[in-house]
Chain A
Amino acid sequence: MAIAKKSVIWLLFAAGGTLTAFVFPALIVLFLLVATGNVPEGLQFEQFHAFAASWLGKACLFIVLFLSLWHAAHRLRVVAHDFGIRKDALVASAVYTVAAIGSVLTAFYLIGIA
């Protein structure tokens, strides 16, 4: 059972790491453009709302956020250990709870966009 659980966590970490490596630079550039006031056309309300309302858009946004959250959670658990926090059970439940809340919020907001 312990091995089965670990493999799921590892799979989410690896898949999330790959996805963030590919997607996050572009995501950060989009936030950078927004911050400079040059909001791209696709991020204007009408267009982005239409994208998030489509099933393909919902699926893309959910998969990216879900895997990123679980990747970050697992890595932050390791970071806590690396910085001398040795209460792993507590840290693990904290980071995975936050990842679960993020996943539920993502699903909740995406379902609400129609």
Chain B
Amino acid sequence: MSRRPYNRPMSKTTWYMRNSRYKVYVLRELTSFLVAFYSFLTIAALAALASDSAEVWNGFLASQQSTGMVIFHGLALLYFLFYQTFPWFKLAPKAMPIQLGEKKLPDIFIIFGHYVAWVVASAIIFWLAGVI
């Protein structure tokens, strides 16, 4: 019979508070709430659009206009950039290393490529939306 193994006491709900790396990990995972929120907000917009009525659509747009929502979107944007977009780009060379013969393409090129692609993708979206 083996001895009872030692189990280090660990909280199931606050374990990530003991280490800053764990905290950052949990903060990254929490961006999924924003993804879910904006996905369903966009679906709500599509529902208004599917009514085929400019009045319903303008009603939806008007319902989104408030100081609270301006602050919320502003904070959400910063949080999303620093805990989803930038970490995802930083991780890219580890997830998809590019082999060139014997050598690997340096991480910085892959990361930089992602930033360039991000600027281009954002520009296309803003162009489609008529912002630029």
> Taking beta carbons and an 8 Å cutoff, which residues of A are in contact with B?
14, 16-18, 20-37, 39-43, 45-49, 51-52, 61, 65, 68-69, 71-73, 75-76, 78-79, 82-84, 86, 98, 102, 105-106, 109-110, 112-113
Q: Size of chain B's interface in residues, with CB distance under 8 A?
A: 55
Please determine whether A25 and B77 come into contact, CB atoms closer than 8 angstroms: yes
Please determine whether B121 and A83 come into contact, CB atoms closer than 8 angstroms: no
How far apart sit A73 and B38, CA to CA, in the bound complex (Å)?
A: 13
Chain A residue nearest in CB terms to B16: A82
Chain A nearest CB, measured from B77 CB (Å) = 5
Chain A nearest CB, measured from B100 CB (Å) = 22
Q: What chain A residues lie within 8 Å of B49 (beta carbons)?
A: 45, 48-49, 52, 109, 113
Excluding A30-B129, A82-B26, 17 further A-B contacts by CB distance (< 8 Å) are A17-B88, A21-B118, A22-B117, A24-B38, A25-B80, A26-B126, A32-B74, A34-B61, A34-B65, A35-B65, A35-B73, A40-B130, A45-B49, A47-B130, A65-B43, A75-B32, A98-B36
Given contacts A14-B95, A35-B73, A61-B46, contact A72 B85 (CB under 8 A): no
How far apart sit A65 and B47, CA to CA, in the bound complex (Å)?
A: 13
Given contacts A49-B49, A65-B39, A110-B46, contact A35 B126 (CB under 8 A): no
Chain B residue nearest in CB terms to A74: B32
B41 CB within 8 Å of chain A? yes
Please determine whether B130 and A43 come into contact, CB atoms closer than 8 angstroms: yes
Chain A nearest CB, measured from B43 CB (Å) = 5
How far apart sit A32 and B65, CA to CA, in the bound complex (Å)?
A: 9
Q: What chain A residues lie within 8 Å of B40 (beta carbons)?
A: 102
Given contacts A24-B35, A35-B73, contact A79 B29 (CB under 8 A): yes
Q: What chain A residues lie within 8 Å of B13 (beta carbons)?
A: 83-84
Please determine whether B118 and A22 come into contact, CB atoms closer than 8 angstroms: yes
Chain A residue nearest in CB terms to B68: A35
> Taking beta carbons and an 8 Å cutoff, which residues of B are in contact with A?
11-13, 16, 26, 29-36, 38-43, 46-47, 49-50, 52, 54, 57-58, 61, 64-66, 69-70, 72-74, 76-77, 80-81, 84-85, 88-89, 95, 117-118, 121-122, 125-126, 128-131
Q: What chain A residues lie within 8 Å of B31 (beta carbons)?
A: 75
Please determine whether A26 and B35 come into contact, CB atoms closer than 8 angstroms: no
